[in-house]
Structure 1
């Protein structure tokens, strides 16, 4: 049974996956607190929110639709920076669509791609926002069975609390009984 996805794990999986698919990006990071000049082109990823989905696993985990965003950031020194930003957003949209980022997650679904002018820290750049949703299960189950242990059996154990006295059920057959 999966323990569910933690958001730190999710961000890192998306970051590494996007770096491997868009090798032309000079950086892929979490949503920034910008203090320096950015080396462009680059991208920033963010989970903007989530809502529970109708069918839940019933094991203490929560199935949700994550609302995510990738900001494609381009420098404005080139005369074609607006076209470059749109092309970057289109490329990222294509590679995000149906991706699971190597996680136990439903395929991502791109919702929109638009110019982004909401972050004043990025006003010196051409920025496009690519939004997508993805169904994942988050959290920890309330009961974590030991998948490797399976059914174990002890015949006339001396110490019932000693795990060494218990053996996999497969080890027993009719001749041992």
Structure 2
């Protein structure tokens, strides 16, 4: 499905997608490296690790299942911050399920959402972890055709073939 997705490309696509889909987030970044007070609500995206996927493409690429996490971070000034951080985690989880983040990859699969206490630099905030998995193919496709790849295939039947009969052709593979 992909032509060698690079992790940097994946991170940037997810960050951009989160920014576009969840405009109420003030900051979207990768991996929490907190050096100053955060503008909340915000989110941090990370690829925690990856495993070999059950299904392999057999084209020289390796299909891996990325284990991903988004940290939803809210301030604690609001009296209802516990409810608000849960609502934020639910909204993110709903958006994540089935998303491809604008790339030719398999859809994301929501796994879980739970409070997160493993980021000591975020102890001053209410934090929930939203986990999801996504299969991507890395490496180059050994069978990728050279040159232009057709985006449409049409068939004409004899004797109605040729330019003068183009309107009689049937499309057998839809436009991409």
* Same structural fold, with TM-score higher than 0.5 when normalized by the shorter chain: yes
Number of equivalenced pairs: 150
Gaps of 5+ in 2: 151-176
Q: With the length of structure 2 as denominator, give the TM-score of the two structures.
A: 0.80
Task: State the shift of 1:59 in Å.
Answer: 2.6
Matches within 5 A, 1:113-132: 113-132=113-132
- 1:97-128 per-position Cα deviation (integer Å, ceiling 9, x unaligned): 11111111111111000000111000000000
Paired with 1:69 and 1:54, the residues of 2 have a C-alpha distance of 21
Task: State the shift of 1:138 in Å.
Answer: 1.4
The two structures, once aligned, show a CA RMSD in angstroms of 1.7
Runs of 4+ in 1 over 6 A off after TM superposition: none
Paired with 1:134 and 1:125, the residues of 2 have a C-alpha distance of 28
Higher Rg of the two aligned structures: 1
SS in structure 2 at match of 1:58:
coil
Conserved 8 A contact 2:2-2:105? no
Paired with 2:63 and 2:149, the residues of 1 have a C-alpha distance of 27
- 1:130-174 per-position Cα deviation (integer Å, ceiling 9, x unaligned): 000011111223565423189xxxxxxxxxxxxxxxxxxxxxxxx
Conserved 8 A contact 2:27-2:43? yes
